[in-house]
């Protein structure tokens, strides 16, 4: 007879951070018998989405690597010991660095890094050990424009206001589909319930999106804007606010600079002038502006449709301009800042908005937050000059499916001299690797959402211990990254424990120095802090240190009764609710003068480009992306519970466009852009605005060498073959996946349309 035990942890599969209860059993107690929502979780209150069931499938997936792979003399990937795999990776990377410099090695951190405590903390350690300026991440194919605008306006890249969902009476959402994403740049478990509650208390939800998304279909109003029209639309809203005398700064009164510049910019975007480019009638814009201003509380929120487009930084900035102008920034029910329990740099006074400290070698694109845009990675690899990138390290990333200009990037990665991947799968990118170092399954890791709690709609803290110990011999992800780091620093012989002590000492010293710089007395010195942190190792110790130095922490004894990791684990196994969002102005600002900068030069310099676009006829047909509730990352397509059902990788086309183009439902279509072309199965749907077609991302699993059997059977096509690596948001260099000009013609239907 087997016994069943129940364990609790946070689901790491998306930004919602739901609490889940996992039933374990089997002869060895290591089988996952069931996954359900944790009713006692104070934030998610028992909610979970279908993706959570994928955790069991992921843990048990036979395609998930349990041992490293190293490319042999025969050109194939073969299982290897950890010692051999580390040895090959470190030796070759060190050779390349010694011969060509650190910048000959590029690093790409994928989106799952943000959901892995190990990768969040020790990925940065590896980057510092490597010392390369050739750093890339999924940020520049996602939310980078919002980070740029937030850093410029408020001083911090993650100082991003989130809609106070639980109290707002009016929510204006642009390019966001939280019913599919479960919330993004807005950590909000059971977002459907939270949105329904807005309407139940008499509030209103408006969704501005080229597609009648799942969220739009459930909203009070759907405004079918043209892709890329968001910045002009929001500036027209601001125009009406100024014109009608509706500007009320509220909590921002006396705390902003640049209001006159914003007024002058908005004056150039009358609703009547932007109507054609945005596809939204001037009368609608005027009504929406007045309704927003009149609401007892209101929040404006933009997501992927506003960031991954050609005016991403302008649109991201304009979202918060509307929040400020209507008096809704930093007030209950408006757009507010969290007070996270754990946050690096919490005491820092210096602004993050220091961009362009160096530029990419080929196109001269500016560095943003120490990274270059992934859209230019292929450029940096290409050519024969001595400064080119010769090696690539990917950490939890699959850029050949997630970055624009995929075919060109595939050619570039193939041509590299050496590739290392820290990844659990042989996917479209890692199939080209020379060494693959697989981390353990998410159930074998500790978890704390360092990044996502900074964007939560309520202040919470929750720590998850590993559900299972890793299999014998399997290093933790942080140990993999720290071993690589030691190797790159010439400290291969040093013990992991010693290297980890150095990491934590450096982090704690930095935090204490920033605390002292902020004027607050540091409660302890680094040596005493290290001693107080006890015997933990790895990211748990880092979380403990930051918790204790955080706003709810015990201050290493200075605030008895405050949070420590021991307290969090022993007293709050389901997490602790730290209350609703609180007003944080002006303390949250790191802009130098303590004011919100409403008119950053980097943003305003892009306004002429937007104005010029108003006078150009829009392309006849443009491509946008699409998200599904059961997908987040491409590896999720290898999990049967998440991929089964009707084929999802279809080209959705409005019936009018289908008739005009001669397309039939279930037939094929060739979608072509400047960058490339794919043939996809057609799905005719009136959810799209005419002139807009849509393909989901993360597909294209049938490349030679991919070892993901389930995903291969649902291969689909890679939308990023069509996405253009030269179609970017100008200020940030972020990929513009939405609004790509395309042509579409009938083609034979793909044989396995999945």
Residues forming contacts to ligand SF4 in the complex (CB under 6 A) are 11, 13-14, 16-18, 48-49, 51-52, 182, 189
Nearest to 448 by CA among 591, 294, 525, 563: 563
> Judged by CB, which is closer to ligand SF4: 116, or 182?
182
Question: What's the burial of 90, exposed, middle or buried (CB within 10 Å: 0-12/13-18/19+)?
Answer: buried
> Judged by CB, which is closer to ligand SF4: 575, or 676?
575
- Beta carbon of residue 52, minimum distance to ligand SF4 (angstroms, whole number): 4
For the residues of 143-187, what is the DSSP string, one character each? THHHHHHHHHHHS-TT---EE-TTT-SEEEEES--HHHHS-SSSB
Exposure string (b/e) for 54-78, b if CB count within 10 Å is 16 or more?
A: bbbbbbebebbbebbbbbeeeeebe
Asked if 686 and 753 count as a contact pair (C-beta separation under 8 A), the reply is no
- Beta carbon of residue 574, minimum distance to ligand SF4 (angstroms, whole number): 14
> Judged by CB, which is closer to ligand SF4: 44, or 328?
44
Helix 230-243 crosses helix 282-294 at what angle (to 10 degrees)?
A: 60
Question: What's the burial of 605, exposed, middle or buried (CB within 10 Å: 0-12/13-18/19+)?
Answer: exposed
Nearest to 439 by CA among 401, 397, 403, 402: 397
- Beta carbon of residue 183, minimum distance to ligand SF4 (angstroms, whole number): 8
- Beta carbon of residue 14, minimum distance to ligand SF4 (angstroms, whole number): 3
Asked if 676 and 721 count as a contact pair (C-beta separation under 8 A), the reply is yes
Start-to-end Cα distance in the chain: 42
Non-local (6+) Cβ contacts of 745 within 8 A are 661, 662, 669, 670, 672
- Beta carbon of residue 348, minimum distance to ligand SF4 (angstroms, whole number): 29
CA angle 616, 619, 624 (to 5 degrees): 125
> Judged by CB, which is closer to ligand SF4: 18, or 96?
18
- Beta carbon of residue 417, minimum distance to ligand SF4 (angstroms, whole number): 38
- Beta carbon of residue 167, minimum distance to ligand SF4 (angstroms, whole number): 21
CA atoms within 13 A on the CB side of 528: 10
> Judged by CB, which is closer to ligand SF4: 449, or 479?
449
- DSSP letter at 750 equals P
Asked if 108 and 140 count as a contact pair (C-beta separation under 8 A), the reply is no
For the residues of 606-668, what is the DSSP string, one character each? THHHHHHHHTSPPPS-EEE----TT-SSGGGGG-HHHH-SS---EEEE-HHHHHHHT--TTSE
- Beta carbon of residue 43, minimum distance to ligand SF4 (angstroms, whole number): 10
> Judged by CB, which is closer to ligand SF4: 53, or 425?
53
- Beta carbon of residue 46, minimum distance to ligand SF4 (angstroms, whole number): 11
- Beta carbon of residue 182, minimum distance to ligand SF4 (angstroms, whole number): 4
For the residues of 435-484, what is the DSSP string, one character each? EEEPPPPGGGS-B--TTGGGGBSEEEE--B--SSPPPTT---HHHHHHHH
Radius of gyration, CA atoms only, the chain = 25
- Beta carbon of residue 161, minimum distance to ligand SF4 (angstroms, whole number): 22
> Judged by CB, which is closer to ligand SF4: 14, or 736?
14
- Beta carbon of residue 162, minimum distance to ligand SF4 (angstroms, whole number): 16
For the residues of 227-277, what is the DSSP string, one character each? TT-HHHHHHHHHHHHHHTT----GGGTTSEE-HHHHHHHHHT--HHHHHHH
> Judged by CB, which is closer to ligand SF4: 21, or 603?
21
- Beta carbon of residue 289, minimum distance to ligand SF4 (angstroms, whole number): 33
Please give the C-alpha separations between residue 480 and each of 438, 472, 635, 727, in angstroms, as whole numbers: 9, 15, 20, 36
> Judged by CB, which is closer to ligand SF4: 52, or 304?
52
Asked if 440 and 61 count as a contact pair (C-beta separation under 8 A), the reply is no
Q: How far apart, in whole angstroms, are the C-alpha atoms of residue 336 and residue 339? A: 10
Asked if 450 and 120 count as a contact pair (C-beta separation under 8 A), the reply is yes
> Judged by CB, which is closer to ligand SF4: 251, or 576?
576
> Judged by CB, which is closer to ligand SF4: 182, or 309?
182
Q: How far apart, in whole angstroms, are the C-alpha atoms of residue 636 and residue 710? A: 10
> Judged by CB, which is closer to ligand SF4: 454, or 673?
454
Nearest to 453 by CA among 742, 712, 186, 157: 186
Exposure string (b/e) for 388-407, b if CB count within 10 Å is 16 or more?
A: bbbbbbbbbbbbbbbbbbbb
> Judged by CB, which is closer to ligand SF4: 13, or 457?
13
- Beta carbon of residue 13, minimum distance to ligand SF4 (angstroms, whole number): 4
> Judged by CB, which is closer to ligand SF4: 48, or 413?
48
> Judged by CB, which is closer to ligand SF4: 119, or 512?
119
The pairing of beta strand 69-71 with beta strand 77-79: antiparallel
- Beta carbon of residue 579, minimum distance to ligand SF4 (angstroms, whole number): 21
> Judged by CB, which is closer to ligand SF4: 16, or 88?
16
- Beta carbon of residue 522, minimum distance to ligand SF4 (angstroms, whole number): 36
Q: How far apart, in whole angstroms, are the C-alpha atoms of residue 48 and residue 181? A: 13
Asked if 238 and 231 count as a contact pair (C-beta separation under 8 A), the reply is no
- Beta carbon of residue 20, minimum distance to ligand SF4 (angstroms, whole number): 6
> Judged by CB, which is closer to ligand SF4: 16, or 205?
16
């Amino acid at each position: 007879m087997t016994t069943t035990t129940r364990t609790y942890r946070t689901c790491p599969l998306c930004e919602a951070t739901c609490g889940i209860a996992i039933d374990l059993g089997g002869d060895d107690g290591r089988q996952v018998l069931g996954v359900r929502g944790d009713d006692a979780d104070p934030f998610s209150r028992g909610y979970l989405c279908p993706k959570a069931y994928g955790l069991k499938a992921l843990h048990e997936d036979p395609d998930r690597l349990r041992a490293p792979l190293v490319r042999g003399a025969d050109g194939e990937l073969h299982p290897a010991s950890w010692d051999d795999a580390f040895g090959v990776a470190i030796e070759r990377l060190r050779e390349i660095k010694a011969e060509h410099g650190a910048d000959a090695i590029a690093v790409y951190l994928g989106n799952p890094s943000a959901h892995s405590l190990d990768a969040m903390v020790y990925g940065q350690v590896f980057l510092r050990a490597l010392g390369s300026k050739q750093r890339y991440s999924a940020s520049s194919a996602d939310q980078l424009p919002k980070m740029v605008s937030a850093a410029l306006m408020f001083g911090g890249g993650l100082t991003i206001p989130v809609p106070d969902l639980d109290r707002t009476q009016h929510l204006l959402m642009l390019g966001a589909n939280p019913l599919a994403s479960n919330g993004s740049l807005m950590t909000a478990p059971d977002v459907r319930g939270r949105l329904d509650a807005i309407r139940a208390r008499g509030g209103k939800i408006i969704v501005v999106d080229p597609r009648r998304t799942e969220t739009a279909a459930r909203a009070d109003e759907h405004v079918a804007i043209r892709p890329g029209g968001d910045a002009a639309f929001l500036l027209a809203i601001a125009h009406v606010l100024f014109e009608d005398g509706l500007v009320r700064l509220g909590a921002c009164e006396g705390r902003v600079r640049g209001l006159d510049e914003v007024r002058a910019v908005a004056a150039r975007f009358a609703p009547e002038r932007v109507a054609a480019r945005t596809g939204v009638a001037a009368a609608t814009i005027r009504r929406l502006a007045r309704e927003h201003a009149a609401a007892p509380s209101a929040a404006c929120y933009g997501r992927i449709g506003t960031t991954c487009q050609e005016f991403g930084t302008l649109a991201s900035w304009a979202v918060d301009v509307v929040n400020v102008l209507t008096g809704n920034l930093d007030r209950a029910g408006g757009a507010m800042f969290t007070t996270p329990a754990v946050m690096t740099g919490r005491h820092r006074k210096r602004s993050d908005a220091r961009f362009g400290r160096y530029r990419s070698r080929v196109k001269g694109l500016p560095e943003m937050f120490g990274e270059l845009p992934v859209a230019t990675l292929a450029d940096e690899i290409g050519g024969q000059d001595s400064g080119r990138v010769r090696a690539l390290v990917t950490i939890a990333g699959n850029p050949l499916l997630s970055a624009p200009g995929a075919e060109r990037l595939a050619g570039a990665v193939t041509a590299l001299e050496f590739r290392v991947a820290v990844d659990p799968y042989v996917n479209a990118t890692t199939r080209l690797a020379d060494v693959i170092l697989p981390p353990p399954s998410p159930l074998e890791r500790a978890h704390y959402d360092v990044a996502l709690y900074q964007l939560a709609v309520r202040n919470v803290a929750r720590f998850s211990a590993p559900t299972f110990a890793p299999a014998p011999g399997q290093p933790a992800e942080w140990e993999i990254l720290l071993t690589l780091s030691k190797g790159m620093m010439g400290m291969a012989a040093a013990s992991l424990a010693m290297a980890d002590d150095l990491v934590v000492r450096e982090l704690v010293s930095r935090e204490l120095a920033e605390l002292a710089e902020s004027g607050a007395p540091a409660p302890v010195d680094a040596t005493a802090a290290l001693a107080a942190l006890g015997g933990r190792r790895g990211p748990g110790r880092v979380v403990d240190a930051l918790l204790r130095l955080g706003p709810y922490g015990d201050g290493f004894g200075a605030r008895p009764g405050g949070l420590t990791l021991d307290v969090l684990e022993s007293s709050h196994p389901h997490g602790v609710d730290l209350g609703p969002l609180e007003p944080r102005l002006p303390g949250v600002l790191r802009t130098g003068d303590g004011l919100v900068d409403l008119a950053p030069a980097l943003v305003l310099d892009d306004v002429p480009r937007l104005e010029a676009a108003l006078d150009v006829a829009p392309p006849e047909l443009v491509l946008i992306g699409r998200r599904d509730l059961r997908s987040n990352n491409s590896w999720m397509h290898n999990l049967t519970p998440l991929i089964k059902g009707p084929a999802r990788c279809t080209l959705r086309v409005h019936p009018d466009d289908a008739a005009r183009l001669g397309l039939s439902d279930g037939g094929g279509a060739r979608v072509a852009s400047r960058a490339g072309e794919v043939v996809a199965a057609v799905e005719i749907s009136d959810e799209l605005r005419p002139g807009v077609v849509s393909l989901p991302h993360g597909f294209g699993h049938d490349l030679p060498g991919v070892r993901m059997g389930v995903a291969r059977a649902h291969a689909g096509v890679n939308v990023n073959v069509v996405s253009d690596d030269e179609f970017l948001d100008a200020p940030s260099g972020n990929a513009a996946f939405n609004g790509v000009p395309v042509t579409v013609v009938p083609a034979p239907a793909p044989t396995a349309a999945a």
